[in-house]
Amino acid sequence: MHEESLWVVREFNRIFGPFILKVFSHFGIHLNPQEPVPQHVVLALLASFTVVFIFGVLAPRPKFHPDRRQAFFEQVFLFFDSLNRDIIGEEGRRFIPIVGSLFLFIITMNYFGLLPGLSAPTMNINVPAAMAIFVFLYYNLQGIKKHRLAYIKQFTGEYIFIAPLMGPIEFISHLSRPLSLSIRLFGNITAEETLIVVLAGLFAPLLPVPLMALAIITGGLQAYIFAMLTAVYLSGAVGEEH
């Protein structure tokens, strides 16, 4: 059964749909004329713009004596700085834009599911999978950039004679990382949202409120786990043990 689109999705496709259909048709790609841009893509874009607006536009210029708004943004930066330094080391500061952006992007998408008229785009497996594939490619590229050919030891082990044994094991281990990242985020958010909707339909409107309060915690926790594991993978890729 086709699920009715959210109002923000309908409006987005009403405004931008004809142009997007025309652009893609030039490349021989035919999209759904009723909904050229799927719901999860629209909501993910909205989450991106929200994060950029809050942390790119509203962030104040640094002052020697910070006000409350600057203090808030500084605490956010220090949170990611501490996370990366604890996991990656002194080199971790240069990865704050990646780890921090992933966390803020995911937590915003997760919290969309708690707002009337919206839903969490992370409930669509394509969104967590896309981020997980990006993380997989990014940390491997960073490892190759730093260690060059020596990065192959990440997959073959330290000694060449154990490469036939370690190679397949490490290769499967690395390939399982994006699968694990995407399934964990997708499964937890989907289960959480489904439970809240079911309880809201079965019981009085106020009864799901405790679960929604719990969802605030779990939504942030899932974003933190994704960001933390990204830092762990980066640590393994750029570490000096190569």
The answer to whether 70 touches 62, Cβ cutoff 8 Å, is: yes
Q: Is residue 205 part of a domain?
A: yes
Q: Provide the token pair at 173.
A: 């281990």
Q: Which residues of the chain have pLDDT under 50?
A: 1-2, 242
Q: Is residue 35 part of a domain?
A: no
Q: Is residue 5 part of a domain?
A: no
The answer to whether 72 touches 49, Cβ cutoff 8 Å, is: no
Q: Is residue 167 part of a domain?
A: yes
pLDDT of residue 208: 62
Q: Which domain holds residue 148?
A: 61-238
- The string of pLDDT tens digits covering residues 229-241 is 999 999 988 876 5
Q: Is residue 33 part of a domain?
A: no
Give how many domains the chain has, as a whole number: 1
Return d(Cα 15, Cα 61) in angstroms, integer: 34
Q: Is residue 18 part of a domain?
A: no
Q: Is residue 1 part of a domain?
A: no
pLDDT of residue 67: 80
Q: Provide the token pair at 68.
A: 């409350």
Q: By C-alpha distance, which of 156, 152, 141 is closest to 234? A: 141
Q: Is residue 47 part of a domain?
A: no
- The string of pLDDT tens digits covering residues 43-75 is 999 999 999 999 887 777 777 777 888 888 889
Region for residue 28 given its phi and psi (left: phi exceeds 0; alpha: psi -120 to 50; beta: otherwise): left
